[in-house]
Amino acid sequence: MTKQLTVLDVTLRDGSHSMRHAFTEQQVRDVARGLGEAKVKYFEVSHGDGLGGSSLQYGFSKVDELKLIAAAKEECGDSAISVLILPGIGLKEDLKNAVKAGATMARVATHVTEANVAGQHIYLSRELGLKTVGFLMMAHMAPTSVIVEQAKLFESYGAEIIYVTDSAGAMLPHEVKERVAALKSHVACEIGFHAHNNLSLAMANTMAAVEAGATYVDGSLRCLGAGSGNTQTEVMVAVFDRLGYETGIDLYRTIDVANEVVAPFMPRPQEITGSSLMMGYAGVYSSFLLFTQEAAKKYNVDEREILVELGKMKAVGGQEDLIAEIARNIAVVK
Amino acid sequence: MVKLKVAILGSGNIGTDLMYKIERSEYLTMSVMVGIDPTSDGIQRAKDRGYHTITNGIAGLIACPELFDIVFDATTANAHSAHSEQVLALGKKIVDLTPAAIGPFVVPCANLEKYVAVDNVNMVTCGGQATIPIVYAINQVVDVTYAEIVATVASKSAGPGTRANIDEFTRTTARALEEVGGANKGKAIIILNPAEPPIMMRDTVHVLVNEGGKEEEITKAIEEIVNAVQQYVPGYRMTSAPIFEGQQISVFLEVEGAGDFFPPYSGNLDIMTAAAVQVGNQMAKLQHGTVKSN
């Protein structure tokens, strides 16, 4: 029997970090149309830090995300649009507005130990009839027992799918397998996995997750995402096809949209630079990358020193304000 | 000098910390702790320290009007409106530490003078108490067109109420950045960090102003207001000098609590109770004038 797998493309959300939140409406239309034609069932459109992420802290969106969601909706045919929301950043009304613009899935994201800030957003998402996901970020920072306990909270609020999210690209395949397998045996929800490629393990980790029972996996075209990006969607489609999984996605069309639409607007290749490697190694949130590079330049300090310090301070997703301060302090000490 | 008698509604952590701070006040005297659970730690502590305790909630308190002049409400937003109605009906004052915000927002060093005579005032949020003074100070020098704050607190110091109502925190703080801070538009972000040992509360204030420059004047205004906040929260400080970049200014703050009942890292909880006591003190001073003239 063929095993079913849902690939969710995050180019238009995680890629927003790499694009410094400057996606144009045309870029979004073109990607959305391509993903629709390739029969990618779900794809995500939001500011990189989720709904309401447009800010001085994370970067203002060049085009309002609601406008981008509505544009994507017009182009994407039978594909469905997901939005990310981080309680503490995005508000319930942001989610309602996203639904009006065309979203039908909500992924409610918290740090891996803080699922109980997501109750009101998960309830609302279910009330609005959305496919509802609990997204446990920085999963490398908590032991499996804690992840299970947090997943149970998400499940109790009404999440239908729970993601293990390797925001720092810091996990190794056996760690992914252990966490996904534990969730699989302790919660009734479907399990998903979201990777970052900082240690060149995104595809391997995604395979490990699927082997352990994950049925939702995230990818981005040409890896366009924070840090070194995500598992490459088109590669993943090919790999899972070879492994005998049914994704329902047209490989050639996926390659076409990656080559013809995404590659031309990418600001830089998603290669594993010294600093993204360090993020995976030190366990630092992937979207800190560009902020760290800017701060390193401005204060003339080594990017790696900033990243290691962020790792030491156990910074969590969203703490971009630490970066400039750390860089300046390193510069002062010197 | 006649001190105002205080009733604390809500015998949880906030109420308990308030009790300790009120003990040090020159203008307030702790009188009665009101809860709904006779076995709660806060009720026990109040009893041990020789205060009245009431364990049937607001009904019990209203039956003993001689025990209090001013109420600090450290319960929940839902409960607050009923509490407020009954307390005001007795002609007494109420300081609201819940997100209910029936009365005007008060941040002591920004607008307390304006509202000290109002009978129900609201203490905004912890993030608001920590950041609004900065926005207010900058706005005295140049027009703040946009104010955004990022409050990062230790997971251990974010209680179940905050967690279940995180949207209320961001929404209320954003509104108060406008109404009290004076920004044309406000935005608030809250982040919980579970690191061990727990991190000190951190607040970053990013603002956009209508004209660049005036760095010296703005820095001076910020330093002055930091001093003013330190009068009631000694552990409130900038962790480094403000960053000026064109029309953007970023200010980095840390709030260390007094360690009364909460551990010092819980600066977020401490700044709420300290600011509330400061409001109570000012109300008492005003009332004291009245008492004397009678």
Question: Who among A116, A117, A325 is closest to B252 (CB)?
Answer: A325
Band of pLDDT at residue B97, cut at 50, 70 and 90: very high
Band of pLDDT at residue B294, cut at 50, 70 and 90: very low
What is the interface pTM, i.e. ipTM, of the complex?
0.95
Q: What is the CATH number of domain B126-263?
A: 3.30.360.10
Question: Taking Cα atoms as reference points, which of B15, B23, B181 lies closest to residue B106?
Answer: B181
pLDDT at B99: 84
A194 is in an annotated binding site: yes
What's the pLDDT tens digit per position in B55-95?
999 999 999 999 999 999 999 888 999 999 999 999 999 99
What's the pLDDT tens digit per position in A119-164?
999 999 999 999 999 999 999 999 999 999 999 999 999 999 999 9
| Chain B residues lying within 8 Å of A111, measured CB to CB | 192-194
- A287/A256 same-domain check: no
Query: CA geometry: angle at B72 spanning B71 and B74, to 5°?
Result: 135
Q: Which residue stretches of chain A have pLDDT < 50?
A: none
CATH number of the domain enclosing A85: 3.20.20.70
The boundaries of every CATH 3.30.360.10 domain in chain B are 126-263
What's the pLDDT tens digit per position in B128-154?
999 999 999 999 999 999 999 999 999
Q: Look at chain A and report how many structural domains it folds into.
A: 2
Length of chain B: 294
CA distance B170 to A146: 27
| Chain B residues lying within 8 Å of A328, measured CB to CB | 240, 243
B4-122+272-293: CATH topology: Rossmann fold (3.40.50)
Neighbours of B97 (CB within 10 A): 27
- A27/A148 same-domain check: yes
- A146/A21 same-domain check: yes
B164 is in an annotated binding site: yes
The SS3 call for residue A162 is strand
- A65/A214 same-domain check: yes
| Chain B residues lying within 8 Å of A140, measured CB to CB | none
Contact B11, B29 (CB under 8 A): no
Question: Who among A314, A318, A329 is closest to B191 (CB)?
Answer: A318
B190 in contact with A at a CB cutoff of 8 Å? Answer: yes
pLDDT at A14: 98
- A103/A145 same-domain check: yes
- A246/A285 same-domain check: no
Q: Taking 70 as the threshold, does the pLDDT of residue B172 lie above it?
A: yes
**CB-based contact B170 A324, cutoff 8 Å:** no
The boundaries of every CATH 3.40.50.720 domain in chain B are 4-122+272-293
- A116/A203 same-domain check: yes
Lowest mean pLDDT among A319-333, B174-188, B194-208: A319-333
- A253/A279 same-domain check: no
Burial of A334 (0-12, 13-18, 19+ CB in 10 A): exposed
A244, A265, A286 - which closes a domain:
A265
pLDDT at B293: 32
Is A121 annotated as catalytic?
A: no
Average pLDDT over residues B278-289: 89
**CB-based contact A117 B187, cutoff 8 Å:** no
- A72/A219 same-domain check: yes
- A62/A151 same-domain check: yes
State both tokens at B216.
């010296």
User: Per the residue annotation, which of A17, A21, A111, A140 is the catalytic one?
Assistant: A17
Which residue range(s) make up the domain with A295?
274-333
